[in-house]
């Protein structure tokens, strides 16, 4: 899973 | 991605398109606050610093480019387009937005997820977005009745963050490790700022009258 701290929201 | 977030992003996109349409079609930016547009340009530039480093999805990248491009285009139009700039309410759009920039930056230095350049700027952009609408709301109140496209712009802009709150609730309930307190709290503040505008917007829509904000 992508590490959580990447902001995937705009 | 969930339906609330998609609805939020589409509503946000509509708000920007409504604004571009208003400025392009009427060649006028009366009733629009340049300061709010400049704050939004700063919000998108400081939030999407990871544009070239983290590829989330094509949708994510395209939307980031659209938001950055459209906000810069609107600012350019209102500042330099020889016809549009004449209709800018310079003497009404006097909100001292340096305060908003300063407070948001100091808050970001104190409250952030990680003390890295990207994360501090990300937190800064979240806080700044919560208050970026203030110059526009002040301008709407000063210019009294709102011409409908400016009102629609603010309406869609407020609605997008309300959808995002539903998105955060949904993600909190479905993803056990979802903790985006900075976004959630800031998003609640942002939507609350629109609350009174929504009230007057609804009243004017119900009475089918022009939107009159209390001076």
Contact B54 A6 (CB under 8 A): yes
Q: Report whether B23 contacts B77 (CB < 8 A).
A: yes
**Model confidence at B176, in pLDDT bands (50, 70, 90)?**
confident
**Residue B208, pLDDT score:** 81
Q: Tokens 């590829």, residue?
A: B55
Contact A10 B64 (CB under 8 A): yes
Q: What is the ipTM of this complex?
A: 0.85
The CB-side HSE value for B14 (13 A sphere, CA atoms) comes to 17
Task: Give the nearest chain A residue to B46 (CA atoms).
Answer: A10
Residue A4 has pLDDT above 70, yes or no: no
Between B211 and B8, the more confident residue is B8
Residue A1 has pLDDT above 50, yes or no: no
Write out pLDDT tens, residues B201-214: 888 888 887 777 77
**Residue A3, pLDDT score:** 55
Average pLDDT, chain A: 73
Contact B114 A9 (CB under 8 A): no
Between B208 and B188, the more confident residue is B188
Q: Tokens 């949708």, residue?
A: B59
Q: Report whether B25 contacts B59 (CB < 8 A).
A: no
Give chain A's largest Cα–Cα span.
19
| B176, burial (CB in 10 Å: exposed 0-12, middle 13-18, buried 19+) | exposed
Write out pLDDT tens, residues B108-153: 999 999 999 999 999 999 999 999 999 999 998 888 767 778 889 9
What are the respective helix, strand and coil percentages of chain B, to the nearest 5? 75, 0, 25
Contact A10 B119 (CB under 8 A): no
Contact list in B for residue A3 (CB cut-off 8 A) is none
């Amino acid at each position: 899973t992508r590490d959580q701290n990447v902001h995937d929201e705009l | 991605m969930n339906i609330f977030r998609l609805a939020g992003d589409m509503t946000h996109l509509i708000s920007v398109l409504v604004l571009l349409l208003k400025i392009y079609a009427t060649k006028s930016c009366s009733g629009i606050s340049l300061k709010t547009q400049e704050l939004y340009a700063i919000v998108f530039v400081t939030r999407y610093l990871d544009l070239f480093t983290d590829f989330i999805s094509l949708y994510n990248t395209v939307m980031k480019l659209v938001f950055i491009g459209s906000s810069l285009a609107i600012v350019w139009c209102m500042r330099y387009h020889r016809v549009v700039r004449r209709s800018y309410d310079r003497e009404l759009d006097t909100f001292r937005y340096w305060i908003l920039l300063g407070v948001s930056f100091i808050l970001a230095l104190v409250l952030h997820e990680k003390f890295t350049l990207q994360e501090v700027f990300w937190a800064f952009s979240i806080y700044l977005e919560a208050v970026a609408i203030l110059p526009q709301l002040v301008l709407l109140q000063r210019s009294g009745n709102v011409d409908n496209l400016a009102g629609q712009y603010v309406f869609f802009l407020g609605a997008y963050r309300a959808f995002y709150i539903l998105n955060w609730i949904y993600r909190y309930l479905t993803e056990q490790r979802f903790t985006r307190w900075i976004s959630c709290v800031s998003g609640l503040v942002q939507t609350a700022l629109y609350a009174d505008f929504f009230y007057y917007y609804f009243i004017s829509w119900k009475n089918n009258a022009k939107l009159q904000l209390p001076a």
